[in-house]
Structure 1
């Protein structure tokens, strides 16, 4: 995490929301990077050209992604503990699968 829990707790509400948005952005970027690399690795396996380094790289990227997710969750918890409402937790895969319904129907 870039900031300790104590630092997050002492931040003003606007700065905390900004930190939350920044952590979510970094998380999304890392996840996209990891998923892209994972897809590339699967393609390489299908072609029988996989080497050990690529598998290690994906494991390292997964760890980085998990650490960013923890940071996002901690900041969200801080926002909720202060009595403000954080974003409702949404699974990106589930959100993408749900069709949007036009209003008024």
Structure 2
């Protein structure tokens, strides 16, 4: 996609909504791929931990120095960067839609709550 903000603003409503739908579709696809890779990385780490010998510290050290784990971790970081860039495009298109006077498209903020890995949002909501 990668249209400039000016080009997006000059698009007709139909073209803009089509661009928004396409950007959202790409975002969801990339997010699924990234989350799948994260899960695979966690599975590999767990498998390495259970199959190695020694204490917890030795096992964790073996995992940390593993070249395979480092390579896969880098792939996940690169996927996260690409996902963040695509999220910016989705947000820009949603902003342009709002500037034109239309309400925000549904689902604009739904990913922000699910991005955190700490689970802090769930704990905070439960305490409110």
The two structures have a TM-score, normalised by structure 1, of 0.82
Alignment partner of 2:72 out of 45, 54, 58: 54
Shift of 1:77: 0.1
Distance in 2 (CA, whole Å) between partners of 1:84 and 1:91 is: 18
2:21 match: secondary structure: helix
Shift of 1:85: 1.9
Is it true that 1:69 corresponds to 2:87 in the alignment? yes
Shift of 1:90: 3.9
Q: Which residue of 1 aligns with 2:126?
A: none
Shift of 1:83: 0.8
Distance in 2 (CA, whole Å) between partners of 1:42 and 1:19 is: 34
More helix by share: 2
Q: Which residue of 1 aligns with 2:96?
A: 78
Gapped regions of structure 1 (runs ≥ 5) = 94-105
Q: Which residue of 1 aligns with 2:110?
A: 91
Q: Which residue of 2 aligns with 1:45?
A: 45
How many residues matched? 93
Larger radius of gyration: 2
Bigger RCO (CA 8 Å, 6+ sep):
1
Q: Which runs of 4+ in 1 moved over 4 A?
A: none
RMSD: 1.5
